[in-house]
Amino acid sequence: DSGVTQTPKHLITATGQRVTLRCSPRSGDLSVYWYQQSLDQGLQFLIQYYNGEERAKGNILERFSAQQFPDLHSELNLSSLELGDSALYFCASSAGLWGSGELFFGEGSRLTVL
């Protein structure tokens, strides 16, 4: 158990819909990262938050948005969903701001868009 909690574990929805994925980082970790992993693909970095502020942005679509709340949990919002958005979405947390320590991944949220 990494200490990172993601909900829901599985989600099936239709094209055009909107979903919210939730992540609770490890206790004490201030950084939260979101990654997208499509079938047989690598880990595509989406966005990073540190202590409530956006710190880095990767290949995140404009239809996607995220935020980190004062209690440090984070939400990834995916809207106007397309078939190609079907993927495993991982949240990861780390203690510090800078990427020089271990990333702890959650179990992932598997999104299926039909």
Partner 1 sequence: GENVEQHPSTLSVQEGDSAVIKCTYSDSASNYFPWYKQELGKRPQLIIDIRSNVGEKKDQRIAVTLNKTAKHFSLHITETQPEDSAVYFCAASTGNQFYFGTGTSLTVIP
Residues 69-108 interacting with partner 1 (rule: CB under 8 A) = 90, 98-103, 105-108
Indicate the pairing of strand 10-13 with strand 19-24. Answer: unpaired
Nearest to 84 by CA among 45, 113, 51, 41: 113
User: Which one, 42 or 70, has the nearer CB to partner 1?
Assistant: 42
**Binder among 11, 13, 43, 95 for partner 1 (CB under 8 A):** 43
Say how many residues touch partner 1, by CB under 8 A: 22
User: Which one, 37 or 79, has the nearer CB to partner 1?
Assistant: 37
Nearest to 25 by CA among 78, 112, 110, 102: 102
Phi, psi of 83 (to 5 degrees): -55, -40
Residues in touch with partner 1 (CB under 8 A):
2, 33, 35, 41-43, 45, 48, 55-56, 58, 90, 98-103, 105-108
